[in-house]
């Protein structure tokens, strides 16, 4: 495989794998993913059955503590979960960019959802939402301080929501890039390169788990914020 690691534009070079452009390989994998997730046949294929079972079990775990009042939001949260999971997993493929590693996208998803659940909470139960700013039993002289702290924690929720997703994915992708570069650089030392390659594969498996977990955490937090407001 022809790779140029000395140029910052090496990702645009026509790399080959067994005389096949890796770009075509990446496109084929992406189209295969779409064919699995968007099957229009009445009878599911084996891959479709696996994906359906996976999504069903994950959604059952994700919404097992759902407030009955938040049930109408389950389709929306399910769509958000599938969207983030798809972007995270497809971003691990060659020549694919993980857009959820940029806070511009994560905040674009997290901030509107956070505003929606809070506006809905204040609209449905305004007095109940205000009571959360002052915990029960708080001394009168601490009420202004508690209101300030609770207000800051409320506005910190969307920041943590978007920053957590982007930071975790960026850190994992950076480690994968550094290890892949190290393997290529240490190719003259087969023993060291082999050890590094094993660590790389383990890290890659871990990053797949992180991609799934971060999609779950993001959706679970939004669902938790909604449950607090209803």
- Establish if 207 belongs to a structural domain: yes
Q: 192 is in which domain, residue-wise?
A: 54-229
Give the C-alpha separation, 227 to 124, whole Å.
13
Q: In 10 A of CB 90, how many CB atoms?
A: 18
Confidence of residue 18 (pLDDT cuts 50, 70, 90): low
Cβ–Cβ under 8 Å, residues 214 and 165: yes
Average pLDDT, the chain: 76
The average pLDDT across 137-151 equals 77
Q: What is the pLDDT of residue 37?
A: 57
- Establish if 179 belongs to a structural domain: yes
- Establish if 9 belongs to a structural domain: no
Q: What is the pLDDT of residue 170?
A: 85
Q: What is the pLDDT of residue 224?
A: 83
pLDDT tens for 73-114 read 888 888 888 888 888 888 887 767 788 888 888 888 888 888
- Given a cut of 60, is residue 6 above it in pLDDT? no
- Given a cut of 50, is residue 215 above it in pLDDT? yes
Give 16 or 153, the one with higher predicted confidence. Answer: 153
Give 149 or 58, the one with higher predicted confidence. Answer: 149
The average pLDDT across 19-34 equals 65
Give the C-alpha separation, 214 to 169, whole Å.
8
- Establish if 15 belongs to a structural domain: no
- Establish if 197 belongs to a structural domain: yes
Nearest 5°: the CA angle 72, 216, 210 is: 165
Give the C-alpha separation, 24 to 16, whole Å.
10
- Give bridge partners of residue 17 from the DSSP assignment: 20
- Given a cut of 80, is residue 172 above it in pLDDT? yes
- Give bridge partners of residue 75 from the DSSP assignment: none
pLDDT tens for 43-55 read 666 666 776 777 7
- Establish if 30 belongs to a structural domain: no
How many domains does the chain fold into?
Answer: 1
């Amino acid at each position: 495989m022809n790779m140029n690691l000395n140029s910052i534009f090496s990702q645009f070079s026509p790399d080959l794998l067994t005389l096949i452009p890796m770009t075509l390989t990446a496109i084929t994998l992406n189209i295969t993913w779409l064919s699995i997730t968007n099957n229009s046949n009445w009878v599911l294929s084996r891959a479709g059955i696996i994906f359906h079972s996976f999504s069903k079990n994950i959604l059952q775990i994700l919404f097992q503590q759902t407030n009955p009042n938040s049930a109408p939001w389950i389709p929306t949260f399910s769509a958000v979960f599938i969207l983030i999971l798809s972007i995270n997993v497809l971003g691990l493929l060659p020549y694919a960019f993980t857009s959820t590693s940029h806070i511009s996208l994560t905040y674009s998803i997290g901030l509107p959802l956070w505003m929606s659940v809070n506006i809905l909470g204040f609209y449905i139960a305004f007095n109940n939402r205000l009571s959360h700013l002052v915990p029960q039993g708080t001394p009168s002289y601490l009420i202004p301080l508690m209101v300030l702290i609770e207000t800051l924690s409320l506005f910190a929720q969307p920041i943590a929501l978007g920053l957590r997703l982007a930071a975790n994915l960026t850190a994992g992708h950076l480690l994968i890039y550094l290890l892949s570069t190290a393997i290529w650089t240490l190719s003259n030392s087969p023993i060291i390169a082999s050890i590094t390659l094993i660590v790389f594969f383990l890290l890659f498996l871990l990053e797949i788990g992180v991609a799934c977990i971060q999609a779950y955490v993001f959706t679970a937090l939004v669902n938790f914020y909604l449950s607090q407001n209803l």
